[in-house]
Copies of this chain bind each other. A is one copy, B any other.
Amino acid sequence: MTPSHIHVPTDCRTVTEILSRVGDKWSVQVVVQLGGEPKRFNELRRDVGGISQRMLTLTLRGLERDGLVTRKIYPTIPPRVEYRLTELGCSLLNTVRALGSWAIENRDHILEARRRFDEATGHGPGADGA
């Protein structure tokens, strides 16, 4: 054991991969919305706001795949599907909230930095991914 190969750090790759879920446009918002009560598809769609049906489906699938969310189907008419955070999902919610707090606390700081930067360069917002 202990493959001393200097190969790629397995952990880093995985971490990055998992982080990318947090980084995508909607996952975090969905998780947060699911934080209190379980919700139904269109309920979630309303609450998140601005998300397309397609993206909500995709996001939910991804979350479900990672074991962060469970899907419960009630065979009623009309169909009712409820999404709920798993324990794992809840633990992520906590961590994500920390990040959210950081973002809120430093929002002004960052916005100010951006404004100054943009002003100094003359360019409009043309920076990286954000």
Q: Name A residues whose Cβ lies closer than 8 Å to a Cβ of B.
A: 8, 11-12, 14-25, 27-29, 49, 58-59, 61-67, 88, 91-92, 95-96, 98-100, 102-104, 106-107, 109-114, 117-118, 127-130
Contact = CB atoms under 8 A, between A and B. Distances in A.
How many chain copies?
A: 2
Tell me the interface secondary structure of chain A in the complex.
helix
A88 B65 contact: no
A59 B129 CA distance: 8
Nearest to A8: B49
Given A62-B129, A65-B128, 6 more contacts: A8-B49, A18-B107, A19-B22, A64-B117, A67-B117, A95-B98
A17 B130 contact: yes
Contact of A24 (B62, B114, B117, B129): B129
